[in-house]
Amino acid sequence: MASQQIRCTVSSCYYYESNDRCAAEQIMVRSKPGAGGSANMEVGAIGGQAQESNQTLCETFIPHTKGPKPGIRRIGS
């Protein structure tokens, strides 16, 4: 089975791999990035390196220290 080829530059995410690759087996993409987050998103203030999903526009984002997200494995893990 071929792996997905999602590119991401958010190195603070649990699913980040070298060469800007996302290793999450699945991702969640929102249609209205300006809308508020959901209960499954990391939420917080914007500034510095991404620490919450609202800073990345990716609901799959989770900080290295909190990963993995329930139900989402890393590809190859």
Task: State the maximum Cα–Cα separation within the chain, in Å, rounded to a whole number.
Answer: 39
> How many structural domains comprise the chain?
1
In a domain, 17, yes or no: yes
pLDDT recorded at residue 53: 60
Answer whether 60's CB lies under 8 Å from 15's CB.
yes
In 3D space, the residue among 24, 17, 69 whose CA is nearest the CA of residue 42 turns out to be 69
Between 68 and 49, name the one with better pLDDT.
68
In a domain, 47, yes or no: yes
In a domain, 77, yes or no: no
pLDDT recorded at residue 43: 44
In a domain, 73, yes or no: no
Q: How confident is the model at residue 74 (pLDDT cuts 50, 70, 90)?
A: very high
In a domain, 38, yes or no: yes
* pLDDT tens digits, 2-56: 556 888 888 889 999 999 999 999 888 766 555 555 555 554 444 456 666 666 6
In a domain, 76, yes or no: no
pLDDT recorded at residue 59: 84
Containing structural domain, residue 8: 1-67
In a domain, 74, yes or no: no
